[in-house]
Amino acid sequence: MTTTQTLAPAIRVQGIEKSFKDLQVLRGVDFDVQAGSIFALLGSNGAGKTTMVRILSTLLKSDAGTAAVHGFDVSAKPGDVRESISLTGQFAAVDDVLTGRENLVLVAKLRHLKNPREIADDLLKRFSLTEAGGRRVATYSGGMRRRLDIAMSLIGNPPVIFLDEPTTGLDPQARTEVWQTIKQLAGQGTTVLLTTQYLDEAEYLADRIAILHKGTIIQNGTLSELKQLLPTAKVEYVEKQPSLEDVFLALVGETGETDTSPDGPSDSAVPARKEF
């Protein structure tokens, strides 16, 4: 594998549209995800992130456009797509009554793998859950549950994993734990598509970030490419790089800008024009 062949993208999305009755959620979404990278689909609540992930994981049909995962078209080859992916949602799919190890063994058996116990022990080790492995999941912290959930989704080594808001609802320490787990995954060659509404999460984790807003991808690039969209602000000789948050707010345009029209209601305490 030393040739400079261009790898086909692990995920290719072209012109995807999806409406729910009158509500147009996706209006022509396009993006590619390179194999082995972490790609963040960033958008506010209700932007359509889960809808996009459900289409890619064959749970939902799009109205128009094409999508391929691991080389398989999601409409034409849904079975092959399902064999190539795992999906972890916002709510952990672990069984509280079982221990961590039992959860893993169960999934490995369901997937007809040969040595479920070895697989379970290996994953417990990789996710720093060896000690907790013999305890019921009911006793786990939020971060441990989410880590176990991600570990379960890796059984069978799917080349592509979807993490839909992997840290929503977690406390800061648990978020950090999950972030480290996700970084490790991509380090081992797995392609990760994660959705998030957290700018710092995308900033920390993703090789590329695509901003989904009003049904389309309004920007797609590396963190430094996105930052270049805004000029560097100079504040008293100190250069300040724009944060991803600055870029996001500038693109999405929801900075809470006020109506400065002279006919509008005036407030004598506020200057008529705002200068940036």
Ligand X SMILES: Nc1ncnc2c1ncn2[C@@H]1O[C@H](COP(=O)(O)OP(=O)(O)O)[C@@H](O)[C@H]1O
Q: CB under 5 to 8 A by kind: which of ligand X, Mg ion, none does 2 bind?
A: none
Tell me the sheet residues that pair with 63.
Answer: none
Task: Please name which of 181, 115, 194, 114 lies closest in space to residue 154, comparing C-alpha atoms.
Answer: 181
- Distance between CA atoms of residues 213 and 187, nearest Å: 29
- Distance between CA atoms of residues 132 and 100, nearest Å: 7
Q: CB under 5 to 8 A by kind: which of ligand X, Mg ion, none does 116 bind?
A: none
Could you tell me the smallest distance in angstroms from the CB atom of residue 69 to ligand X? 18
Amino acid at 84: S
Q: Which of 2, 3, 5, 20 binds ligand X (CB under 6 A)?
A: 20
147 in contact with ligand X (CB under 6 A): no
50 in contact with ligand X (CB under 6 A): yes
Q: With CB under 6 A as the contact rule, which of the stretches 20-28, 116-124, 182-190, 264-272 interacts with ligand X? A: 20-28
Amino acid at 99: T
Q: Which of 43, 89, 158, 166 binds ligand X (CB under 6 A)?
A: 43
Q: Which residues here bind Mg ion, judged by CB under 5 A?
A: 49-50
Q: Which residue's structure tokens are 């999906």? A: 87
62 in contact with ligand X (CB under 6 A): no
Q: CB under 5 to 8 A by kind: which of Mg ion, ligand X, none does 64 bind?
A: none
Q: Dmax of the chain from CA atoms?
A: 76
- Distance between CA atoms of residues 247 and 181, nearest Å: 27
In the complex, the residues that contact ligand X under the rule CB under 6 A are 20, 23, 25, 43, 45-51
